[in-house]
Amino acid sequence: MTGRSESAPSTDRTRPDVAVVGAGPIGLAIAWRCAARGLRVEVHDPAPGSGASAVAAGMLAPVAEATFGERQLTELLLASAARWPTFTEELTEATGADIGYRTEGTLLVGLTGDDLAEARRLWAYQQGLGLPVTPLRPSELRDHEPALAPRVRGGALAPTDHQVDPRLLVPALRTAAQRAGAVLVPHGVRHLSDVDAHVTVVAAGCGSAALTGLPVRQVKGQILRLRAPGGVAPGFRHVIRGYADGEHVYLVPRADGEVVLGATVEERSDTTVTAGAVQRLLRAGVDLLPELAEYDLVEAVAGLRPGTPDNAPILGPLPGRPDVLAATGHHRHGIVLTPITADLIADLALTGVPDPLLAPFRPDRFAGAAADGEPVTTVRPERFAGAAADGGTEPTMKGDLWS
Q: Is the pLDDT of residue 372 over 90?
A: no
Confidence of residue 375 (pLDDT cuts 50, 70, 90): very low
**Residue 14: its pLDDT value, please?**
73
CATH number of 1-102+161-215+308-403: 3.50.50.60
What phi and psi values does residue 260 have, to the nearest 5 degrees? -95, 125
- Summarize the confidence of residues 46-59 as an average pLDDT: 94
pLDDT tens-digit map of 148-160: 999 999 999 999 9
Domain with CATH 3.50.50.60 in the chain: 1-102+161-215+308-403
**Residue 362: its pLDDT value, please?**
97
Instruction: Considering only residues 399 and 127, tell me which one the structure prediction assigns the higher pLDDT.
Output: 127
Q: Is the pLDDT of residue 140 over 90?
A: yes
**Residue 335: its pLDDT value, please?**
98
pLDDT tens-digit map of 78-106: 999 999 999 999 999 999 999 999 999 99
Q: Which of 13-17, 231-235, 276-280, 374-378 has the highest mean pLDDT?
A: 276-280
Confidence of residue 368 (pLDDT cuts 50, 70, 90): low
Flag the least confident range among 15-19, 237-241, 384-388.
Answer: 384-388
Global pTM? Answer: 0.89
Domain with CATH 3.30.9.10 in the chain: 106-159+218-306
pLDDT tens-digit map of 221-238: 999 999 999 989 999 999
Architecture of domain 106-159+218-306: 2-Layer Sandwich (3.30)
- 213 neighbors 372 (Cβ within 8 angstroms): yes
Flag the least confident range among 299-303, 321-325, 385-389.
Answer: 385-389
pLDDT tens-digit map of 1-51: 544 433 445 555 679 999 999 999 999 999 999 999 999 999 999 999 999
Q: Is the pLDDT of residue 383 over 50?
A: no
Q: Is the pLDDT of residue 283 over 90?
A: yes
**Residue 141: its pLDDT value, please?**
96
Q: Is the pLDDT of residue 398 over 80?
A: no
Confidence of residue 366 (pLDDT cuts 50, 70, 90): confident
